[in-house]
Structure 1
Amino acid sequence: MAKVLLVDDDVELVEMLRDYLMQEAFEVIVAHDGEAALCLMRQERPPIVVLDTMLPRLSGIEVLRRIREEGEMPVLMLTARGSDIDRVVGLELGADDYVAKPCSARELVARLRAILRHSAIGKALSPASPPLEVGRLTLWPAQRRAEWAGRALALTCTEFNIL
C-alpha cells in the first residue's frame, strides 16, 4: 500500500479523491493548506505528493519549491490552472507530472502508479545490474538513479527519461 499526501483546499474534492484512492489500495493523508502539507510531508515521508497550486497560507508552487530543496519526493500537480504556461512552469519547477482539473479519479490513480513505478522512492529497487558509464556519468536504469563524478543527481522522472 503506497502512502499519498493529498494537498488541496477543496474539501469536497479531497474527500472524493481520498475515498477512490483508498479503494485502489493507497493510504491517504490530507492537508488543506501549504504549511500543513510541509509539516505532514516531513512527519510522514510519503513516497508521493498530489499538490494543488492555489492553496491558503503557502502556495502550492512554494510548497513544491521547498519539497525540491529537501529531496527527490515525486510530486504530481493537480490544479485548475491548466494553461500551457502553467503546466510548463510547474514542470520546470520540478513537478513530475501536471494534471488539470477536472480529471477523473481513475486517470489520477494511473498517473500516480506510473510515477511510483519509475521512482526509486516509490518502488523496491530492482536486483542489481551493472551500471552504464559514459565518462563521468553513471546510470542505474532499473533503479532510475544517476551520478555525475560520484555525486548523486536529483532528477525528476522527465529529466531521467531525457538523460
Structure 2
Amino acid sequence: MPETAPETARARQSRIARQFIEAIPHAQALGMHLDSVGPEGAVISMPWDERFIGDLRSRVIHGGVISALMDTCCGAAVMGHEKSISATATIDLRIDYMRAATPGQRLIARAKCYHVTRSVAFVRAWAMDEDESNPVATATAAFTVEG
C-alpha cells in the first residue's frame, strides 16, 4: 500500500474547520456550504429558500438567518486561522443590517479573523447577496479559542 503524504498544518486546519461546520445542525438545516477556509478567512454560502422568508409581502429573508450565517462564517474564520485552534465559541456578535437581501438570491458571508490572543479571537464579516459590492450586513465578533 503506498504511503500518503503527511497532512500539512493548513490542510489540517481546513479539515477541522469543515468538520466543525458540518457538525452544526443549524448550518445543515439552513443549507450552508463552506466554500473556503484558511488563514485568509472563510467564505460560506447558502441558497435562498422560501422557508426562511421573514416577511411574506416582500419575500425577504429573516434577519435571524443572516445572523446565523454570519456567526457560523466567523467561527469558521477562527478555526481556519494560522494559529492552531481546535475549538471556538461565540462570545460577542454585533451585526449591522444595511439592507434587505434580494429575494431569490444566494447569500454569501465572508469573514476574516484579524487578531488572536491566548483566549480570544477577533473577527470581521460581511454578508452579501449576488451584489457583492453592496453588503446586506456587516459584523464584528469575538470568539473563545482553544488550541
For the aligned pair, the TM-score class normalised by the smaller chain equals: under 0.3
Which is richer in strand? 2
Report the TM-score when normalising by structure 1: 0.25
Report the TM-score when normalising by structure 2: 0.27
- Where relative contact order (Cα < 8 A, 6+ residues apart) is larger, the structure is 2
